[in-house]
Amino acid sequence: MGITTKVTNIDVTLRDGGYRNGFKFNEDYAKAHVRSMEQCGVEYAEIGYRNGSFKPITDIGLTGLTPDSYISEIRSAVTSNCICVMAHPKNILGEEIVRMHKLGVNMLRFCWDNNRIELTRDYVHLAKSLGMTVCVNLTRVSHQPTKLLLANAEAVRDFGGDVLYLADSNGSLTPNRVWEMVNLVRGYTNMPIGFHAHDNLGLAMANSIAAVKAGATFIDGSLRGMGKGAGNLKLELWLAFLRCGRGVDDYDHASILNQVEVLEKADGQSRPIQPLDDLVLGLFDLTVEDKDRIIANAESIGQVFTNAAA
C-alpha cells in the first residue's frame, strides 16, 4: 500500500527540540523559525509547551512556558493558521485555553494523562467549542497493552478530539509494529491518526513511512531531528522523501534548508546525535527516566547494556 492521502506535517523543533537546549530558543529565532515553516508550507509549527513539561524543569526557557506575550509575538510574525501549542492538562487552566485562542493559537495538543481523564475531556470540549483543532497525544505507546491503548483511543474519540496521536516516546518501535498499531487504532476509532517518532534505533524515517502506509495522516518532525534523547524524525529529510519518493511537491525546500543552516549556526545542540545509551534505551523499550538508573554504576557502554537487560 502506498501513500495516497494528504499528509499534514507538524514541526516540533521549538517544543521537542527544547529538551536539547533547556527550551532556550530566543524570541527572535522563534519568530524567524515559524516564518520559515509558513514560507516552506509546513502546515503547523508547534511553538512550545504551555507552562512546562510533565515534570518540572529547572530554569526552563521561553519555549517551555509559551507565555501570552510570546504567542502574541509569534502571531504577529505569520498570517496563516499554523500556530500549535502542546500542554499537559495538569499544567493549565481553562481560562488559559480561552486566552491562547484569542491570541491566535490554531491547534492545541494535549498529552494524555490517565490520572486526569475527566479534565482532559473538559479541555478538549472547551478548545473545540472555541474552534481550535485539537489533538490528543498518547505517549509511550510501546508501553501500553493493546486493551489499554484501545480504551484510551476510544475515550479520545468520544471526547471529540480531531486527531489521535501515537507517540513512540522511547524510540523502540519497528516499522511492522508501527503499521500494526496505526492500522489497529485507526480501524477501531475511525479517527485521523498522527505519529510522533523518536530515533533511538535509527528508524524514525522508516517508522513514519510505515505509519502513513497504515493510514496515519499527521506526522511530526523537527529540523535536524532536534528533540529529546536521540531526537525525532528529521523534518527536512521527511519532506525530501515526500517529494522524491511520493511526488509531493507542496513544500519550498530551499526555505527549510536555509532555516536548517540558521538553526545549526544559532544552536550547536541542534546537530543530530546518536548516543549509545539512547540506542540501549530503544533496544529495551526504556524511558529517558531510566537512563540515570542504568548508567549509574556502569563503567562502559557494555555495562550499560547489561544493566538495561537486567
Beta-strand runs (E) in the chain: 8-11, 44-49, 83-87, 107-111, 133-138, 163-167, 193-196, 218-221
> pLDDT tens for residues 82-125?
999 999 999 999 999 999 999 999 999 999 999 999 999 999 99
Q: Does position 2 have pLDDT exceeding 50, yes or no?
A: no
Strand partners, 46: 84
CB 179 within 8 A of CB 213: yes
- Please give the mean pLDDT across all residues of the chain: 92
Q: Is 1's pLDDT higher than 50? A: no
pLDDT at 299 over 70: no
> Any idea where the domains of the chain sit in the sequence?
8-272, 275-310
- pLDDT of residue 278 exceeding 90: no
- Write the class of the CATH domain 8-272: alpha beta
Predicted local distance difference test score (pLDDT) of residue 124: 98
Which position has the grid cell 517544543? Answer: 15
Contacts 24+ apart (CB under 8 A), 245-248: 246/2, 246/3, 248/7
Among candidate residues 150, 96, 97, the one with its CA nearest the CA of residue 124: 97
Task: Report whether pLDDT(302) > 70.
Answer: no
Share of the chain above pLDDT 90, in %: 79
> What is the average pLDDT across 261-272?
87
Long-range contacts of the stretch 273-278 (C-beta < 8 A, 24+): 273/230, 273/231, 274/199, 274/202, 274/230, 275/229, 275/230, 276/301, 276/304, 277/301, 277/304, 278/171, 278/200, 278/229, 278/230
pTM score: 0.90
Q: Which helix (H) or strand (E) holds 36?
A: helix 27-40
Q: What would the pLDDT profile of 145-186 be if each residue is shown by its tens digit?
A: 999 999 999 999 999 999 999 999 999 999 999 999 999 999
Is the pLDDT assigned to residue 289 strictly greater than 90?
Answer: no
pLDDT at position 303 over 80: no
The percent of residues above 70 in pLDDT, for the chain, comes to 94
Residue 45: per-residue pLDDT? 98
Whether residue 244 has pLDDT greater than 90: no
pLDDT at 272: 76
Residue 65 pLDDT exceeds 80: yes
pLDDT in tens, 10-19: 999 999 999 9
Which tens digit of pLDDT belongs to each residue from 203-242?
999 999 999 999 999 999 999 999 999 999 999 999 999 9
